[in-house]
A and B are shown apart, each in its own frame.
Chain A
Amino acid sequence: MCIVVGLLFMIGTYLILTKTLLRIILGTSIIGHGVNLLIITMGGLKKGGPPLLGIENVTYADSLPQALLLTAIVINFATTALFLVLSYRAYTVLGTDDTEQLRGKEDE
């Protein structure tokens, strides 16, 4: 699992370093998945049942990372949306989606 996380991070980083805004967004999204998987991996995998007291289990899976992740997923959604709209706005205003050309003036 850890290797998968590492791979996701690798691909995400590569995408973020490219010049196209779209790819950057995709990259952040992939890294987001990577982080989620990383956190839940930290909690230990596949030990015990789902954290529902209704089901009789001896042990439960670690519930804290799950709660963390639940919020993380939703926030991730919001930030992705914001990022998308920002890049979209940048594109419509400036007419390019290339970060190289989005650069400001020399002395800024």
Chain B
Amino acid sequence: MSWIHVMVLTPFIFATIVPYLYKKFNQKIHTGWFVFFIPVFIFAYLITFIPEISGGNTFMKILPWLPSYNIDFAIYMDGLSLIFALLIAGIGALVVLYSIYYMSKDREALHNFYVYLLMFMGAMLGLVFSDNIFVLYVFWEMTSVSSFLLIAYWYEREKSKYGAQKSMLITVFGGLAMLAGLIMLAMMSDTYSIREMLTSHNLEAITSNTLFLPAMILILLGAFTKSAQFPFSIWLPDAMEAPTPISAYLHSATMVKAGIYLVARLTPIFGGTGEWFWIVTGVGLVTLLYGSVNAVRQTDLKALLAYSTISQLGLIMSLLGMGSGALYFGYGDESFIYATAIFAAIFHLVNHSTFKGCLFMVVGIIDHETGTRDLRKLGGLMHLMPISFTLMIIGGFSMAGLPPFNGFLSKELFFTATLQAANMSIFNLANLGFVIPVIAWVASIFTFIYSMILVFKTFRGKHRFVRVDKPVHEAPFGMLISPLILAILVVAIFFFPNLFSKYFLLPAWEGVLPSLAQAGELSIKLSPWHGWTPELIMTLGVVGLGILMYLYIRKWYRIYNYYPQALTLNTIYNFSLENMEVLSKKATNKYMTGFIRDYLVYIFAFIVVIVGGVFWTFGGFTFDVSQDADINIYEAGLVIAMIISAVTVLFSKSRLTSILAIGALGFLVSFFFVLFRAPDLALTQLVVETVTTVLFLLCFYHLPELRKEIGKIPFKMTNAIISIGVGVIITVVALSAKGTRLFDSISSYYENSYELAGAKNIVNAILVDFRGIDTMLEILVLTMAGLGVYTLIKLRMARRDKNEGAE
């Protein structure tokens, strides 16, 4: 247990007392204020690690959890996890602060909100710090669950429920796929620790294994669903039903970055192969294009932001893919050139969190103040909300990749990376490489357009929206603090990029490519002006074309009408969901008939098929008569008598006959116990049989006369076939088990019972001494059964008495 463990667990622990605080203080103080301190403290604590981490150190703390399964809560802190944790805690603090003003303390169920939020925060911290893949997986799913709860926070709204369900289904599907992938990974490398997988010995074992590709694809499925990559992106726009602080936190800054984190974390394992490169880059680029093109046609501000998030995530993902090519080249200079892409990915990731967080909060303010997020209704807010407008410009222009904002720097790096990737000579890039910068460039134009729509459609133009109850004005100051801080960061990073990169980005880069970091340092100088490079020309092209297209948007907007509605991913999702529900209901109704007999048929048939199947396939049937004792005439007689009495039970028409027959059967069994040298058993059986018979008689006195089984022939035939099957199988099992002795009997130990327990009756010694605890529990069960009988009878009698009294 280290302090880092405590830190990860703090949100969970604190979440347990939130409801209490809410109940106690919410009348006076907004619950958010209590919660606010948690991320602030965590952030402050994490800051203290920066000098160490940027100096190249890493921390590994292990808290044994399930040591016998090698599952430990191992925390590994390096630059990568630190930068994610800082984002989680930092944005978390700002979001909580923002939510204090956004969420009304009188109307909202704040305790739920903050419990979910803290749960998410803890899960996310655990996710980025876990070194053990299974612990990581647990936290991963926990983020899905808390995201579900937060999206469905306004659970009375139909759309919230729909969005929550959708995100849950998709991310959990991905999570399960990832689990399978992680298990494969563990099988290949024989360890659960990501750190240990990276040792060259294990790495070799992984890359040479045939499971390498399946494991990679499964894990990527998890990462892609989480990070809303095409075609799994559809859940993100619907997740926007969550309260805006949540959208800002989970669905732009942190949770959707978990997939990015995973890809970055596993790059040293999978990177350097053609498959990884093409899948990650390809999916990233497609997502980038898909997101940006779709964002333009959105009319809901949050939906627009959602699609822009999808596209930006695709951008980061594709950068990670391109950067992974560096591992192919070993430790040469070339690999450092390509490793720039990884650096760009981390840089853009941070930038995206800042400007997108800011944008979401501003949109939340607009929603809060005007009551709508519909672009068609909004407009001309510039004069009414000047501060929000400024913030929106900062965020929007940064997203569009304009100076003097941090988005410009990372966008330039992105172009650099695409151009370099196009020149790579590996993985068929010589033929296909030119596609990468082209897609990137086109997508950037659309990015530019939607950024402009976001800023100008909302704030410029006529003031069309008229709100009835109160005039629209600027948001309260408290609500503006958080986006303001983020906006300041956006600008600050632009002006001091190298300082920022030294302490945050380079350590994170080292975390992604540890082997490369050992070979040398990445020398990268970030500056707004590099001269007339191709990147700059590309940017200028984006801006020029973007402005033109924005101005004439009406002219070409119509092409969106040709977008085939029936083929959208959402339609497919809805269709399959509906059909699956119908289908499963049908299937369930088919076998869940409600007849106990049918269930028993399933069970018995299953026994026959499985046990019989095992015997058949493994040839387990052995038959060994040599051990058998001779059968004398008494025994043969007993056997025949037993069979007769059993058959009598089967065919008897009257209650009394069957009871007597079953009693006879019991007594015959006890005779067998005598023959088998089991005096104790014989005695017990004898007495039990007596008592049972009395019991049967007592009960049957109340129960109706046996009726003739009226049933159709097929019904009886099924029963007969199944029972014959069971009988045969049991016979076979008995014969084989008798013929097979894998181990010596352990009973000989108990023959010391006189010395060990002072008893000459071995059976009794076993019961009361050697296996005393079994016996104790057994009499407990016995007593419970007795009490059960008693209550069943007496309860009814009591009720009857009461009823009679009432009458």
Contact = CB atoms under 8 A, between A and B. Distances in A.
Contact of B699 (A1, A19, A63, A85): A85
A6 B727 CA distance: 4
A51 B727 CA distance: 31
Contacts of A62: 745, 747
B691 interface: yes
Interface string A6-39: 1111111111111111110010011001101110
Nearest to A45: B629
A75 B781 contact: yes
A71 B601 CA distance: 29
B594 interface: yes
B639 interface: yes
A47 B676 CA distance: 8
Interface stretch (B26-34, B310-318, B341-349, B646-654): B646-654
Contacts of B754: 53
Contact of B703 (A40, A45, A91): A91
A17 B778 contact: no
A64 B766 contact: yes
Given A10-B724, A16-B600, A70-B684, A4 B762 contact: no
Given A14-B719, A74-B688, A4 B643 contact: yes
B771 A67 contact: yes
Interface string B759-785: 011110011000100110010011001
A108 to B, nearest CB: 7
B745 to A, nearest CB: 6
B676 A46 contact: yes
Nearest to A63: B762
A51 B761 contact: yes
B726 A2 contact: no
Contacts of B692: 29, 77, 80-81
A102 interface: yes
Contacts of A30: 646, 649, 662, 665
Nearest to B750: A63
A14 B702 contact: no
Contact of A70 (B643, B680, B730, B737): B680
Contact of B751 (A12, A60, A80): A60
Contact residues on B (Cβ < 8 Å of other chain), bracket: 35 or more
Does more than half of chain B's interface fall in helix, strand or loop, or is it mixed? helix
Contacts of B700: 22
B695 interface: yes
Given A22-B655, A63-B747, A70 B726 contact: no
A71 to B, nearest CB: 5
B731 A74 contact: no
B679 A52 contact: yes
B628 interface: yes
Task: Pick from A46, A49, A50 the residue with the most CB of B within 10 Å.
Answer: A50
Contacts of B737: 42
A14 to B, nearest CB: 4
A14 B753 CA distance: 42
B789 A81 contact: yes
A2 B511 CA distance: 66
Contacts of B704: 91, 97
B727 A89 contact: no
B695 A81 contact: yes
15 contacts: A2-B734, A9-B727, A14-B723, A17-B600, A22-B703, A23-B658, A26-B662, A30-B662, A51-B762, A53-B753, A53-B760, A78-B781, A80-B695, A82-B789, A100-B597
